[in-house]
Chains A and B, each alone.
Chain A
Amino acid sequence: MTEEPLLVIKNLHAKVGDTPILRGIDLTVRRGEVHAIMGPNGSGKSTLAHVLAGREGYHVTAGAVRYDGKDLLALPPEERAREGVFLAFQYPVEIPGVATTYFLRTALNAIRKHRGLEPLDAIDFLALLKEKMKFVDMDEALMKRSVNEGFSGGEKKRNEILQMAVLDPKLAILDETDSGLDIDALRIVADGVNALRNEEHAVIAVTHYQRLLTYLVPDVVHVLLDGRIVRSGGKGLALELEEKGYASFEKEASGAIG
């Protein structure tokens, strides 16, 4: 018996300001799967991630998104998060004056409340946090700071995955989580995500380069060009992209669209 996919995107069109970016995205993600979305700059990768997370300023002009049986686009960002959508930001913002532990505990308790669970007090939360920090080899000292304050690029990315570990989302969208990372940091991030993989949850990894996918092996790879998915395939597709470049797919794309 096939159960309903976790995420079904149908003919999604979206613009940023007056500029159309997404021009008809179709995508189905089933539980337990890891999908990679690869594309050159300007293809709409980040736009897709932000539209799914519910960022203001991104206007959906056509299409639908069904998530876990619900109309995702009808929900405000906090509702989506409570329903288990998690966006790992490409550029995590620094929030001086907001303690990391306070922020994460507040977020977790909002999600727990939604799931009908009791909130965690400060002590239990700290115990949970300590345990999860092992997933990303995070320095305890960083947790004493304000959110992302003074974090290096690599630390910010690892902090995103740490939050993912704590909040336990159903659908994790990694927005170019590999950008700006050296090989070691990349492995830590990939290991962290891999450790969180299971049959119930899904991951969409939006990325420019193939190398993350060596460690975070996808089930499906999609090529995104000019706001459309022009090709989908297995993990081999990522290597093909690496060898041939996006340009070869552009020809294919313009040829395919009639």
Chain B
Amino acid sequence: MAAADGYVATFERLDGSRPPRLRDLRHAAIARFAALGFPTTALEEWKYTDVTALAEVPFRAGATPAAPTADRRRLDELRLATSIELVFIDGCYAPALSAHEGIPRGVTVTSLSRAMIEHPDLVSAHLGQYANYQDHAFTALNTAFADDGAFVHLSRGAVFRTPIHLLFLSTAAREPTMACPRTLIVAGEASEATVIESYASADDATSFTNAVSEIVVGPHASVTHYKLQQEGARAFHIATIEARQGTGSRFASHAISLGALLSRTDINTTMEAEGTTCTFDGLYLAGGDQHVDHHTSIDHRRPHGTSRELYKGILDGRATGVFNGKVFVRPRAQKSDAQQMNKNLLLSDDAVINTKPQLEIFADDVKCSHGATIGRLSDDALFYLRARGIDAPTARQVLIYAFANELIERIGVAPLRERLGRALRRRLPGLLQAGDTA
């Protein structure tokens, strides 16, 4: 428990100086964190992900820098060409670096700290109601320490097509730092929005991003959510995305994980009403000594829900990957239609993937399927390309890119799709010679 104690002590030291609103929630959360401590590999959900290295670093918690600063050039590399872009440096909102022009009536995009002042009732009604801090230590830690993040609200019928970009950058300039961004997205009835959360850090920064996002998708609303994790080589990244879906709602989640030394993302949705749809797309790339873990949960609780999940991983070097995809179909969820697939490409002898699709079906009139594959590049395909004059290294890159491209193509936001294509091509240098576009 020693590692956890440090955080508890810091919490108590800072407690008095933090805003009174939500104090009870924060206290409850730190109490749970103190009781749970950091998870060990003895826990089923953390069996393949050892967080000892993370727990041992004395990350500075509860940072509130006077004015968040950042390398402008780095920031510009991370921006997406959209008019709504909130920038957070080490977990704190940086209004001077942000853009929020042209937000129509019925749509609110602001920092969580401002929202707590300007929309207190809305925030209190939802914040902390969905993400499970009782049993999940990192969620408890975030709930205790989160000072800021993003707040997106769409009132009834508000259809907003401009992608909302939430950019989280860790600098950890002076010392190892923990940032706890907290995001709350509330989509009212029949509303529509697209939100992109992107995470990055400096390559030499020993940073710890502990992020939690709660997403409420109202009846007949549609939320498309992207999470792009491009943190540096020494970063730790733990994130939870928790969604709740109302009748006839649609939730599309895209999770892309490229960076960090250790990355763990939990994405959960509860389809608690009839006729809901969710799609979970995931792509993870890891090489060197990276470890990337995705745990997802799709909970069909009512009839006529449709879920589609496709996660693909590409592992190289000595990288280790974990995929655990739970799909629950509860007794009342008749006529559920759930499909789940996890495909992994191992490019080296030392890369390892632990994949566990987990279907728990309690209704009898349903259509469910799942599958997992682990493989190497196809020898037949490689030879076909080489037999046409394409050299072996380029042929490999072409096939690796093709594997990832199925998911890249499904990204509806053009600048994000292009960003990802470029990031992939940077990691696969042979492709740059092969042609203009793939």
Q: Name the interface residues of B393-414: CB closer than 8 Å to any CB of A.
A: 394-395, 398-399, 401-403, 405-406
In the assembled complex, the Cα of A64 lies from the Cα of B378 at a distance in Å of 29
A62 touches B (CB below 8 Å): no
Q: Is the CB of B389 within 8 A of A82?
A: yes
A106 touches B (CB below 8 Å): yes
Q: Is the CB of A96 within 8 A of B392?
A: no
Shortest beta-carbon distance, A206 to chain B, in Å? 15
Chain A residues in 8 Å Cβ range of B435: 102, 105-106, 109, 122
B386 touches A (CB below 8 Å): yes
Q: Is the CB of A55 within 8 A of B389?
A: no
Looking across the interface, which residue of chain B has its beta carbon closest to that of A99? B438
A87 touches B (CB below 8 Å): yes
Asked whether A81 and B379 contact (CB < 8 A) given A97-B403, A102-B435, A106-B398, the answer is no
B368 touches A (CB below 8 Å): no
A163 touches B (CB below 8 Å): yes
Asked whether A103 and B398 contact (CB < 8 A) given A76-B392, A78-B392, the answer is yes
Q: Is the CB of B398 within 8 A of A96?
A: no
Interface string of A111-145 (1 = CB under 8 A from B): 10010000001100000000000000000000000
What is the size category of the interface that chain B forms with chain A? 20 to 34
Chain A residues in 8 Å Cβ range of B402: 95-98, 146
Looking across the interface, which residue of chain A has its beta carbon closest to that of B381? A95
Shortest beta-carbon distance, A27 to chain B, in Å? 20
Q: Is the CB of B380 within 8 A of A93?
A: yes
Looking across the interface, which residue of chain A has its beta carbon closest to that of B379? A56
B390 touches A (CB below 8 Å): yes
In the assembled complex, the Cα of A186 lies from the Cα of B128 at a distance in Å of 68
A233 touches B (CB below 8 Å): no
In the assembled complex, the Cα of A80 lies from the Cα of B239 at a distance in Å of 50
B383 touches A (CB below 8 Å): yes
Q: Is the CB of B381 within 8 A of A93?
A: yes
Q: Is the CB of B434 within 8 A of A97?
A: no
Chain A residues in 8 Å Cβ range of B72: none
Chain A residues in 8 Å Cβ range of B381: 93, 95, 98
Chain A residues in 8 Å Cβ range of B436: 121-122
A51 touches B (CB below 8 Å): no
Q: Is the CB of A77 within 8 A of B399?
A: no
Chain B residues in 8 Å Cβ range of A55: 383, 387
Shortest beta-carbon distance, A102 to chain B, in Å? 6
Q: Is the CB of B383 within 8 A of A81?
A: no
23 contacts between A and B (CB under 8 A): A53-B387, A55-B383, A55-B387, A56-B383, A78-B389, A81-B386, A81-B388, A81-B389, A93-B384, A95-B381, A96-B402, A97-B402, A97-B406, A102-B435, A102-B437, A104-B388, A105-B435, A106-B394, A106-B434, A122-B435, A122-B436, A147-B384, A167-B389
Kindly list 4 other residue pairs between chains A and B, CB separation below 8 angstroms, not including A122-B435, A167-B388. Answer: A78-B386, A82-B389, A97-B399, A106-B390
Chain B residues packing against A (C-beta within 8 Å): 378-381, 383-392, 394-395, 398-399, 401-403, 405-406, 434-438
The 5 closest A-B pairs by CB, nearest first: A97-B402, A81-B389, A107-B388, A77-B386, A110-B389
